[in-house]
Chains A and B, each alone.
Chain A
Amino acid sequence: MDPFEDVLNLEQNFYNVGHEHGFEQGKLAGFEDGRQLGIQKGFEIWEEVGFYHGFASLWRAYHIKSGATESRAAQQANTILDLVAKFPTSNPKHEDFDVVKLLNQIRSKYKVLCATLGTRPRMFVASNDS
């Protein structure tokens, strides 16, 4: 046992103490930063998907009520609802399918439905496209 080992490792020991403390504090801060970003992104993405869900739901109900379930618009609304049902509520990064692709599919079906209905589609801010 080298009696000088502790002295020689002094710098390393100070560093280690600091690192350990910093790592714990960093984990708390990092979790909170990530959480804030996650709330924001989860909200943004699902606000948009929810919009398509609500929009298509009411049009489907409208067509059922008026007995036009075979109409083009009714079928397009059903397609949107089927796609929305596939959309994950947890962080999509962990899913094995392409969420961006699915979102773009829903978007384009929504635009097609709007064209069929003759209404102007909702405009989304650019940040939602990222």
Chain B
Amino acid sequence: MTLIGADIFGDDAADDVAVGTNPTHADREWNKLQNEFTNAGFREGAIAGKEAALQDGFDHGFDTGAPVGRSLGVLRGYAAAALAIVTKDATLQALEPDLRDIIAQLSNVRLHELVKDEPAVTTSSAHPHSDLLGSERSEVREMDELEAALGQLGSARPAEGIDGLRARLQVLLSQLGLPFEF
């Protein structure tokens, strides 16, 4: 009896399931390895990328928000000073209701009405890591809209735009003989 070619371990059938020759098993291992490390890389890359761009985005946004806030604030400031002037002087009493209405409407103006806010880039919400990439935009906006809706409760008319309010305030100031300079 010769051992050559004999199945000494009794595992002839093992050839069929050997790791190296089973393509599905190898693929699975490969994919698992690839997924595991690609995902880990993605996660850490996303965090690093976010941090890297946050300040740039902030500065960019600040330059957008500042002039809008300023023009609204100036109107509110003028209106507040005008109210003080009007209420001090009995001969100006007739102007007070209109002025109070302008002030009330100015206080209801919200940021999102003034900034037509389309994000420069959108990240797909279908992305597997959208939890990492998601922005807080919708949250802020929802709050804003809620506040605006609450602010308008009890007022029969729809809110006027800021341009209309500015025009009304200018008319009122000219009746006081005072300029609107901005």
User: Using a CB–CB distance below 8 Å, which chain A residues touch chain B?
Assistant: 10-12, 14-59, 61-62, 65, 89-91, 94, 117, 119, 122
Contact = CB atoms under 8 A, between A and B. Distances in A.
Interface stretch (B19-27, B121-129, B151-159): B121-129
B11 interface: no
Interface residues of B, number: 73
A36 B120 CA distance: 11
A120 B116 CA distance: 34
A66 B97 CA distance: 24
Given A15-B37, A36-B137, A23 B48 contact: yes
Contact of A42 (B69, B72, B117, B179): B69
Interface of B: 33-34, 36-82, 84-85, 111, 115, 117, 119-121, 123, 127, 129, 132-137, 140, 173, 177-179, 181-182
A30 B78 contact: no
Contact of B49 (A27, A35, A48, A65): A27
Contacts of B57: 30-38
